[in-house]
Amino acid sequence: MKNNKEQLKILKFLHQAEKLKTLLRHSWLSSGRRESVAEHTWRLLLMALVLNGYLKKKVNLEKILKILIVHDICEIYAGDTWAWKSKMQKAGKHEKEKAGMHKLLKSLPFKQAKEIYTLWDEYGKAASPEAKFAKSLDKIEAKIQHNEGHIKHWNKKEKVFNLVYGEEWCKFDEFIHSFWKLSRDEAALKVKTNEHF
């Protein structure tokens, strides 16, 4: 039965996707534990929902949500690369993530695999207004999470890095750039006062 075969493939994919809940990021939560990639993705979806209406250009919210759901899914096999690492330490990141995507998607039926890969690739290339918005949210969310965690988890590099991280991706829209600046100002205050929000 064709449907049963497809259901089994989808179930296998979903079992693999569960690993995103166990994959930890460099960010720490306000509770004092490290954040998972799945938790980061959840807040990105929430941010897209509450911020998309402020964009100067109208965007497709459904497409943004889809992009955000899959943007880090390759990390199940590729791992999470911390943004503040040097270019040398991040070398080969895209190839590693692409291989992770292929490994993950081979268990899905072709139609779903193609859709997920296309969305993931669009995000990586920032090839549409939706992908640009998704990318900007990804950068801002990471900054906000760092601001919420205890400063003892910031290394020396991050104290400067978190003041500039992601700005280039946020300049496409005036409101988003202003929102990025708000998260930067929080980071600057945190560094100055050693407090968290």
Distance CA 66, CA 64 (A): 5
Question: Does the pLDDT at position 194 exceed 80?
Answer: no
The burial of 11, by beta-carbon neighbours within 10 Å (0-12 exposed, 13-18 middle, 19 or more buried), is given as exposed
pLDDT at 2 (0 to 100)? 64
Q: Which domains occur in the chain, in start order?
A: 2-193 (1.10.3210.10)
In this prediction, residue 92 carries a pLDDT of 80
The predicted-structure confidence for 37-54, as pLDDT tens digits, reads as follows 999 999 999 999 999 999
Query: Quick check: 72 and 20 in contact, CB under 8 A?
Result: yes
What's the mean per-residue pLDDT of the chain?
91
Checking 117-123 for CB contacts under 8 A at 24+ apart, the result is 119/63, 119/66, 119/67, 119/70, 119/71, 120/67, 120/70, 120/71, 120/73, 120/74, 122/67, 123/67, 123/70, 123/71
pLDDT value of residue 80: 85
At residue 34, φ and ψ (nearest 5 deg) are -75, 150
Phi then psi for residue 112, to 5 deg, are -70, -40
Indicate whether 168 pLDDT > 70: yes
Q: 34 with 27: CB under 8 angstroms?
A: yes
pLDDT at 110: 95
Judged against a pLDDT cut of 60, whether residue 163 lies above it is answered with yes
User: Which residue, among 172, 166, 133, has the nearest Cα to 49 in the 3D structure?
Assistant: 133
> How far is residue 159's CA from residue 71's CA, in Å, rounded to a whole number?
26
pLDDT tens digits along 98-149: 999 999 999 999 999 999 999 999 999 998 999 999 999 999 999 999 999 9
Total-model pTM: 0.91
